[in-house]
Amino acid sequence: MEIKTLEKDDRKLRLLIRGVDPPYINAIRRNVLSEVPCMAIDEVVIIENSSVLHDEILAHRLGLIPLKTDLDSYNLPEECSCKSEFGCNLCRVTLTLDREAKDETITVYSGDLVSENPNIVPVSDKIPIVKLAKGQRLKLEAYARLGKGKDHAKWQPVSLSAYKYMPRLKVDDKNCDACGKCVDICPRKVLIKSKGKIEVRDLYACILCKDCVNACPKDPPAISVEWEENAFIFILESTGALPPERIITEAVKILDRQLEEFAGLIEVQKLE
């Protein structure tokens, strides 16, 4: 396997992965979405709510606020040694919120949540939760836990996990008269006309739609669009819960464990 990083920042990762087949890359994509744990608010005790939103809606909104996650210090509740449905310091984080609109209407934001652990806080302070009119108050205690995306979307550490085949574009200079129709129709501005020739500006942006081939007036078309077998562009966007590279390495580790478990089951079957 060969991996090249095409783009990387604290939220986004774009990789070119060669030498793997579609089931493998799809298993990674699925594990990123459904198996890599992250923190989310899972239970809310409403002490006072005189806002216009019902308690249930507030709890739902709180659950969907992405929280910074520390995978090394916390256990999944089902794997924690406390075996308690309330949880302990190793599987639960308590956040509190207490805001009151005294003189004017105010907006309660995610930044108003106060966490007992300064490392487990909302990824953004600016997510609105509710507006409070004069005299209204919201006071609550919330419990965040690790969970998996397969149980609820609030536990997905990503907003995007996808892959596509690595494109291969070819322009036949002998057949092409540089009319520019392929350049104009391309939705991703992959092609460019330069010095009377068609050139590829950004191959990785191509979505293999073949609009350029269909727009070419030549017969056969002077441009061809194909893709490399077993080479993929993998794109991952973190919600901010975990660094993107940690998400993908966790997904690979989980896949290894799943395969070991599967291999173990096959051996058991053989013995029977």
In the complex, the residues that contact ligand SF4 under the rule CB under 6 A are: 169, 171, 176-182, 186-188, 190-191, 198, 206-212, 215-216, 218, 222-223, 225
Count, residues in the chain: 272
To which residue do tokens 């478990």 refer? 261
Nearest to residue 253, comparing CAs of 35, 26, 38? Answer: 35
Partner whose footprint covers residue 210, from Zn ion, ligand SF4, none (CB < 5 to 8 Å by kind): ligand SF4
C-alpha 215: how far from chain center? 35
Q: Which does 80 bind (CB under 5 to 8 A by kind): Zn ion, ligand SF4, none?
A: Zn ion
Question: What is d(CA 169, CA 202) in angstroms, rounded to the nearest whole number?
Answer: 11
Please state the closest distance from residue 146 (CB atom) to Zn ion, in A. Answer: 10
Q: Exactly one of 39, 44, 80, 182 binds Zn ion (CB under 5 A); which one?
A: 80
Name the residue nearer to ligand SF4 (CB basis): 36 or 183: 183
> Could you tell me how far CA 48 lies from the centroid of its own chain?
34
Q: Which is nearer to ligand SF4, 109 or 163 (CB)?
A: 163
Nearer to Zn ion, 82 or 192 (CB): 82
Least distance in angstroms from the C-beta of 170 to ligand SF4: 10
Distance, in Å, from the CA atom of 164 to the CA atom of 186, rounded to the nearest integer, reads: 17
- Going by their DSSP bridges, the two strands 38-49 and 137-147 should be labelled as antiparallel
Residue 88 interface partner, choices ligand SF4, Zn ion, none, CB cut-off 5-8 Å depending on type:
Zn ion
**Residue 76 touches Zn ion, criterion: CB under 5 A:** no
Question: Which part of the chain contacts Zn ion (CB under 5 A), choosing from 11-19, 78-86, 98-106, 238-246?
Answer: 78-86
Place of tokens 């460019």: 192
Would the CA dihedral through 198, 204, 205, 211 be positive or negative?
positive
Q: 185-214: b or e for each residue (b if 16 or more CB lie within 10 Å)?
A: ebeeebbeeeeeebeeeeeeebeeeebbbe
The smaller minimum CB distance to Zn ion, of residues 62 and 80, is found at 80
Among Zn ion, ligand SF4, none, residue 215 binds (CB under 5-8 Å by kind) = ligand SF4
Smallest separation, CB 236 to ligand SF4 (Å): 21
Closest CB to ligand SF4 among residues 135, 217: 217
Does 88 engage in binding with Zn ion (CB under 5 A)?
yes
Cα–Cα–Cα angle for 256, 144, 32, rounded to 5 degrees: 25
Q: How far is CA 22 from the centre of its chain?
A: 19
In the complex, the residues that contact Zn ion under the rule CB under 5 A are 80, 82, 87-88, 90-91
